[in-house]
Amino acid sequence: VQLQASGGGLAQPGGSLRLSCAASGSGFRLNSMGWHRQGPGNQRELVASITRAGNTNYADSAKGRFTISRDNAKNTVYLQMNSLKPEDTAVYYCETDYMIFDPTPIAGRAWGQGTLVTVSS
């Protein structure tokens, strides 16, 4: 399973960005999917996650501003980020816990390459 993230860029404070992350490969089932971020000098932290059934979890810093969603048919997870703040500046990474049927089930975790979000005026 490979993840390809896109949608990062420069936004002004108060602006919006939408990140996308598409999974590719064959014979897999994606379970939970999530977005993490790592800002300058900080450790990587979970921003939001979503189960296959659509149950979501958010970091306190993301609640009320960010929305995670997924399209299981497209094997894609999204992160809509509104009311962006300078402290949201970070490299954002998508990840997924998956199962491959080969033919016995094999569990794994995959990470995307990261996409840079910069919030600045």
12-35 pLDDT, tens digit per residue, is 999 999 999 999 988 899 999 999
Read off the tokens for 103. 């033919």
- Rounded to an integer, what distance in angstroms lies between the CA atom of residue 76 and that of residue 59? 21
Residue 118 confidence (pLDDT):
98
Residue 103 confidence (pLDDT):
82
Query: Which parts of the chain sit beneath pLDDT 70?
Result: none
Residue 50 confidence (pLDDT):
98
Q: Is-cis flag, bond preceding 40, omega within 30?
A: no
Residue 27 confidence (pLDDT):
86
Residue 26 confidence (pLDDT):
85
Residue 101 confidence (pLDDT):
86
Q: Tokens 């932290």 label which residue?
A: 45
The backbone torsions φ and ψ at residue 87, rounded to the nearest 5 degrees and listed phi first, read -75, -5
Residue 66 confidence (pLDDT):
98
* Exposure class string for 70-106: b at 16+ Cβ within 10 A, else e: beeeebbbbbebeebeeebbbbbbbbbbbebeeeeee
> CA separation (Å) from 32 to 89, 117, 121?
24, 23, 34
